[in-house]
C-alpha cells in the first residue's frame, strides 16, 4: 500500500489520502521549515506543501539547503559556477510561489545577507514571506557518500561517522567542527525563525530506508541531522517526505496541486538553464512529478 499521510495520523500509520490543498490545512498561521540537502529537493518532493506554506498572509516558509550540490566542482565553473546555477533555480521557485496570485510585493528584489547562526556565517535570503538559507557544504557524491576529490572527500556521511572531524563550505564561508556543531547551527536556524503564537512544522526527507529505499547519502544524513535535534522542538509537527522511490508509485497529485508541482519545477529548471547548467526538464527528473508521499508526527508538547 502506498503512503500519503495526513497531519493527524501517528508516526508509522499507512493509509492513502487526498492531495494536500488549502482547504485541508490548519487555520492557525504557521512557520514551516524545510531542511533539505540540495537546491532542488523540496521542489521535487515537497513542492505543494511548500506552496501552501507561503500562500497566505501570516505564514512563513523557511527553506534550508545544507549542501552546495556542486557535484565536486566546488566554486569553479564558467561563466557561472554550478552551485550558483542551482541556487538560482531554488530562488526562482520561491519567487514563483510567492508571486502566485499577484500578491503584494510582486517583483521586489531579494534581500541577501550573511547571517550568524551558532557562530557560523550562512547565506540568508528573504523574499516576501519566504526565508532561504544556503550552507554550501560539499556535495557528498550520490549513494556512496564518499565526497569528491575536488572538495577534499568531505561529506555529511563522513562527518557523521567520524571519518572526518570538520567540514567546510565550498566558498570558505564557514567551517563546522564536527557533527554536533552542524546540528547546533541547524537548531539555531530553526530557533531564530520560529515565531511566538504560530504553529511550527519541520519537513525533512524520510531517513528510514524501510520507507524510503535507495536514497542519496546527502538526503539521508541531512534528515538524520535534523531528526536528532527534534526533541528540542516538541511543539513541531514533523513531516518526513519520501524521495527517489516515489517514481515507482502512483501519481497522487491532481488539479491545482498538480499544476503547482509542475510549475514549481519549470521555474527551478529555468534557473539552471539560464545560468549555463544542464536543464533538468528531462525524464531523469520529471519522473518524480505528480507525486507527494510523506508520513507525519503530530506535536508532542509545547516549545520553550
SS3 189: helix
For 31-50, what is each residue's pLDDT tens digit?
999 999 999 999 999 999 99
Q: How many angstroms separate the CA atoms of 132 and 95, rounded?
A: 11
CA of 258: how far to CAs of 78, 98, 103, 233, 291, in Å?
Answer: 35, 17, 21, 31, 8
Q: How many angstroms separate the CA atoms of 6 and 18, rounded?
A: 9
Q: What is the mean pLDDT of residues 49-65?
A: 93
Least confident interval from 97-101, 196-200, 231-235, 271-275:
97-101
Q: What pTM does this model have?
A: 0.92
Q: Which residue shows C-alpha cell 491545482?
A: 256
Set of cell numbers at residue 115 = 547571517
Return the CATH fold of 29-297.
Rossmann fold (3.40.50)
Confidence (pLDDT) at 172 = 98
Confidence (pLDDT) at 17 = 37
Alpha-carbon Rg for the chain, nearest whole angstrom, is: 18
Higher-confidence residue of 109 and 216: namely 216
Average pLDDT of the chain to the nearest whole number: 91
Q: Count Cα neighbours of 303 within 13 Å in the Cβ-side half-sphere.
A: 20
CA angle, 88 then 267 then 47, to 5° = 100
* Residue 129 reports pLDDT greater than 50: yes
For 150-190, what is each residue's pLDDT tens digit?
999 999 999 999 999 999 999 999 999 999 999 999 999 99
Q: How many angstroms separate the CA atoms of 24 and 26, rounded?
A: 7
* Residue 144 reports pLDDT greater than 90: yes
Q: How many angstroms separate the CA atoms of 3 and 71, rounded?
A: 31
The torsion angles phi and psi of 88, rounded to 5 degrees, stand at -60, -35
Q: How many angstroms separate the CA atoms of 158 and 291, rounded?
A: 31
Confidence (pLDDT) at 8 = 31
Q: What is the mean pLDDT of residues 58-69?
A: 96
Q: Which residue shows C-alpha cell 536514497?
A: 215
Q: Which residue shows C-alpha cell 565553473?
A: 77
For 102-116, what is each residue's pLDDT tens digit?
666 677 899 999 999
Amino acid at each position: 500500500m502506498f503512503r500519503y499521510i495526513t497531519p493527524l495520523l501517528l508516526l508509522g500509520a499507512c493509509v492513502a489520502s487526498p492531495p494536500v490543498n488549502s482547504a485541508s490545512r490548519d487555520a492557525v498561521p504557521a512557520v514551516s521549515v524545510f531542511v533539505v540537502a540540495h537546491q532542488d529537493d523540496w521542489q521535487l518532493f515537497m513542492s505543494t506543501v511548500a506552496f501552501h506554506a507561503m500562500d497566505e498572509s501570516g505564514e512563513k516558509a523557511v527553506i534550508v539547503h545544507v549542501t552546495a550540490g556542486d557535484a565536486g566542482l566546488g566554486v569553479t565553473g564558467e561563466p557561472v559556477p554550478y552551485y550558483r546555477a542551482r541556487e538560482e533555480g531554488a530562488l526562482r521557485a520561491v519567487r514563483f510561489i510567492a508571486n502566485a496570485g499577484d500578491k503584494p510585493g510582486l517583483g521586489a528584489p531579494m534581500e541577501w545577507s550573511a547571517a550568524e547562526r551558532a557562530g557560523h556565517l550562512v547565506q540568508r535570503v528573504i523574499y516576501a514571506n519566504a526565508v532561504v538559507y544556503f550552507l554550501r557544504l560539499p556535495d557528498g557524491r550520490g549513494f556512496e557518500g564518499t565526497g569528491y576529490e575536488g572538495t577534499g572527500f568531505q561529506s555529511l556521511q563522513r562527518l557523521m561517522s567520524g571519518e572526518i572531524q570538520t567540514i567546510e563550505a565550498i566558498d570558505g564561508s564557514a567551517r563546522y567542527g564536527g557533527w554536533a556543531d552542524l546540528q547546533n547551527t541547524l537548531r539555531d536556524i530553526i530557533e531564530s525563525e520560529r515565531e511566538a503564537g504560530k504553529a511550527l512544522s519541520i519537513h525533512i526527507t524520510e531517513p528510514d530506508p524501510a520507507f524510503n529505499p535507495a536514497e542519496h547519502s546527502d538526503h539521508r544524513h541531512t534528515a538524520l541531522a535534523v531528526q536528532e535535534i527534534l526533541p528540542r522542538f516538541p511543539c513541531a509537527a514533523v513531516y518526513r517526505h519520501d524521495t527517489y522511490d516515489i517514481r515507482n508509485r502512483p501519481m497522487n497529485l491532481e488539479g491545482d496541486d498538480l499544476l503547482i508541482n509542475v510549475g514549481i519545477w519549470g521555474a527551478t529548471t529555468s534557473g539552471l538553464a539560464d545560468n549555463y547548467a544542464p536543464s533538468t526538464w528531462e525524464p531523469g527528473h520529471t519522473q518524480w512529478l505528480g507525486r507527494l508521499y510523506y508520513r507525519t508526527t503530530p506535536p508532542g508538547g509545547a516549545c520553550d
